Amino acid sequence: MNTIQKLNEPVSDELALVRAAKNGDIGAFEELVKRYDRNVFRIAQHITQNREDAEDVVQDAFLKAYGNLTQFQEQSKFYTWLVRIAVNEALMKLRRRRPERMISLDEDVKTEEDSIPREVADWSPNPEQQYNQSELKQILSKTINGLPPSFRTVFVLRDVEGLSTEETAEALNLSIPAVKSRLLRARLQLRERLTKYFKRRDNGDGNK
Amino acid sequence: MNCSDFLKELTDYLDGVIDADTKAELDEHLAWCHNCFVICNTTKQTIEIYRDSELYELPDDLRSRLRSAIVQKCQKQKAEAHPEPEAKNTKA
């Protein structure tokens, strides 16, 4: 085995698994599942906002990936390709649950105004410590669920899952400027909404 | 640079993907504009809180249940795609 190549090329380990899986090695594919199932579940739950749907998305996305492995172009990362499949599966679930609303990642939601900061109060030093773990999770989940799906998805891929702007653009089939614009607006809207919970309260009336 | 110019650059500024000249201008703006300073800080905290939140973690039992279901279905898919095992190559 060529260990030197492995050190220089961290992706090659993943690529080796993908190639083995393409040749029918289910154990290698299971390794890829172990590597990314948590990420796919988080992304799916963020998009669908529903636990059962997220479970289905994990299964469907991996099965679709397995069934289409031969179509995977090795110049991009397997993970980015998998995320693309998972996002599509999750959006389909969301559309099925909310057929009355057209849900698309292409929509450039007209919420420019929502992104203009209104609340500029500083936060308390350790904002998350004002709440217990489950209260905090509830606040965070309620707040992010209030974003349009196209903003939510970009924020999750970039800021929660740590994909680069380019990878996010590839996974969502969006241009880089579109990813950047949605990310800025998502971040600002979340900040605005969280300020309600986390702003410094030690000055009596809060506002200076 | 005014506040709306600052906001336009905020994402690249927070991600550290900005050229040195623009960064210097943004830093200068932050030095005197309290509102942008607060917005910048609280946006950074917003990202960190979500990143560290472990909001939707996959519980271990569900994880192994999903994994065995996936593996089982992959095996089924494989068996359907290749019904003849390769070992039958021996022509006696």
Neighbouring C-alpha atoms within 13 Å toward the C-beta of A199: 18
Over the stretch A94-145, which tens digit does the pLDDT of each residue have? 888 876 665 666 655 555 555 677 777 888 888 888 898 889 999 999 999 9
CA distance B51 to chain A (A): 5
Reduced to 3 states (helix: H, G, I; strand: E, B; else coil), residue A103 is: coil
Given A97, A128, A152, the domain boundary residue is A97
Over the stretch A178-200, which tens digit does the pLDDT of each residue have? 999 999 999 999 999 999 999 88
A116 is a domain residue: yes
- Residues of A with Cβ-Cβ distance to B56 under 8 angstroms: 41-42, 45-46, 54
Domain count, chain A: 2
| Same domain flag for A65 and A91 | yes
| Same domain flag for A85 and A116 | no
Separation of alpha carbons A181 and A155, rounded Å: 11
Q: A163 lies in which domain range? A: 112-198
DSSP at B16: T
pLDDT at A13 over 60: yes
Query: Given pLDDT bands bounded at 50, 70 and 90, which one contains residue A208?
Result: very low
- Domain ranges in chain B are 3-52
Contact residues, B window 22-61, toward A, CB-based 8 Å cutoff? 35, 38-39, 41-43, 45-47, 49-51, 53, 55-58
Question: Which member of B14, B53, B56 has the closest CB to residue A45?
Answer: B56
| Same domain flag for A120 and A54 | no
pLDDT at A7 over 90: no
Q: Who contacts A88 (Cβ-Cβ below 8 Å, separation ≥6)?
A: none
- At A111 the pLDDT is 52
Whether A9 and A56 have beta carbons less than 8 Å apart is answered as no
| Of residues B91 and A93, more confidently modeled | A93
Average pLDDT, chain B: 88
A73 is a domain residue: yes
A205 is a domain residue: no
| Same domain flag for A92 and A117 | no
Single out the residue of B52, B39, B48, B51 nearest to residue B9, CA to CA: B39
Assembly ipTM = 0.84
